[in-house]
Structure 1
């Protein structure tokens, strides 16, 4: 599913939704489990050889607190945690051997948007923090890098306590320069996360 499909999905929900107060369904504390489809592309600047791409599916967790303002506006501070990885590596005479190293993606973020009694359509703005990226093979340097990301999502209530969501968010990280076989180069990692979650409210 790409961004265009998500916007279309959101438009259909808006068209079908009967105007109603968000009430308290989307407020308060919640916790959820998700299935995250992660597409990752990591590369060393100026090299076509050292460009690793992969897709994987992992489990994630998230938690947050919903706040209603007015009749239908809801915003929700939230934290998510999932895996971020790419298999394999690359090697050439210029930059030597590189591996994709790292394991997690931590996302402190805000969801905000329009909510009815059954539906919550929102945009996402958040910081992505990770230890993942391309590094020289054998490097023990674990640099944390962060980047802002944007996304969209939709959540549907099952009952007063349970709901399900689908969302997509994209971000890019630029790591500091590293020594690849005697050459200082920056690395860049792009990720697109498609997340399907099941939420329990308290």
Structure 2
């Protein structure tokens, strides 16, 4: 009789644990486990899309201008994960209000974008990562009277960030990027000008 009761208790405990695990993982795949009996509670695997808002500041080469301002945009990416290690790719496109006036010229960076690799380490619902890759964007020069000249150039970017999973679909992040857009010759200034700047961004992602 005692053996029967003990067996029933063990069976009920196993069923409860299974139901609890189902609640944790939901329908999204979980990451490859450290061991068979200890899987990670949160998965970073798969595609995602999100938005961000931040602030940027920098310098225009061959000029005393130091444009700064609010920026914001959208990002999309994909993550792969093995155990606690994550690798991914992300692209983003940003609108930027950064501008500054030096002498007779007003410099601004109306928009920029990046295509970057990401490599990180996950502590279940916290992901720390480094990122870097291609950058591209516009540098605009204006003079009084509405005369302007704009040039698009490519460059590079590098940075780091932290992402925090709110649940299996939603996450929030904070990220720093340094962006260097290469110099282009401007007729209005008679000089090669480029824009190098830093950004700090807060964002949210929805993972499918």
TM bracket, shorter-chain basis: 0.7 to 0.9
1:29 alignment partner, one of 32, 35, 47:
47
Larger radius of gyration: 2
TM-score of the two chains, using structure 1 as the length reference: 0.74
* Pairs within 5 Å for 1:44-123: 45=62, 50-68=63-81, 70-91=82-103, 97-123=104-130
Match of 1:166 in 2: 174
Deviation at 1:61, TM superposition (A): 1.1
Q: Which runs of 5+ in 1 are unaligned?
A: 1-18, 92-96
Larger helix share, 1 or 2: 2
- Deviations along 1:156-177, one digit per CA (max 9) or x if unpaired, are 1111111111110112223222
Match of 1:188 in 2: 194
Classify 1:21/1:120 alpha carbon distance in 2 versus 1 (closer, same or farther; 3 Å): farther
Q: CA RMSD in A?
A: 2.3
Task: Measure, in 1, the Cα distance between the counterparts of 2:159 and 2:39.
Answer: 25
Between the two structures, name the one with larger relative contact order (CA 8 Å, sep ≥ 6).
1
Task: Measure, in 1, the Cα distance between the counterparts of 2:75 and 2:90.
Answer: 7
Task: Measure, in 2, the Cα distance between the counterparts of 1:141 and 1:87.
Answer: 14
TM-score of the two chains, using structure 2 as the length reference: 0.72
